[in-house]
Structure 1
């Protein structure tokens, strides 16, 4: 089992409302990723960001690329 770290985040109330809405939609939908709470959703998104950082050929890299997050250094473009 991997170690977990507890962090605190501050988000705008409007963002939190939208994330709650997204969680509710995901719970209603017949397919797709199921999450039970906003913290679970945020944790999954952060996992995708971390995977995109360490795996240049992954679909997650496309996510962080769209966000402008990959570094330009050579090291960040090697698996």
Structure 2
């Protein structure tokens, strides 16, 4: 099941993301995307993965952006997205 939410992207940022897509289409990329929506979805999934998997490469993104909470819970590996269940 896919949950759809609407987000607002600054028009200047959106323009840059569109340009990135053009570059992928013109010159190739190891991970090319065909739309801004696909690119944003990938970036957000990477942030979510970095949040729940402290040892993953994606965690470096969060650390560099200052998005790791200063609490023990944010340093625990979780297999599922969202608030940890009592069985984890």
TM beyond 0.5 = yes
Match of 1:70 in 2: 68
Shift of 1:34: 1.1
Provide the rounded CA distance (Å) in 2 between the counterparts of 1:74 and 1:26.
Answer: 39
Provide the rounded CA distance (Å) in 1 between the counterparts of 2:49 and 2:27.
Answer: 25
1:31-69 residue CA offsets vs partner (Å, 9 max, x unmatched): 411101000000000000000000000110001111110
Superposition RMSD in Å: 1.0
| Structure label with greater radius of gyration | 2
Unaligned stretches of 5+ residues in structure 2? 78-88
Shift of 1:12: 1.4
Provide the rounded CA distance (Å) in 2 between the counterparts of 1:31 and 1:19.
Answer: 14
C-alpha spacing 1:19/1:30, structure 2 compared with 1 (3 Å) = closer
TM-score, length-scaled by structure 2: 0.82
Runs of 4+ residues over 4 Å off in structure 1: none
Q: Does 1:38 align with 2:36?
A: yes
Unaligned stretches of 5+ residues in structure 1? none
Q: How many residues align?
A: 77
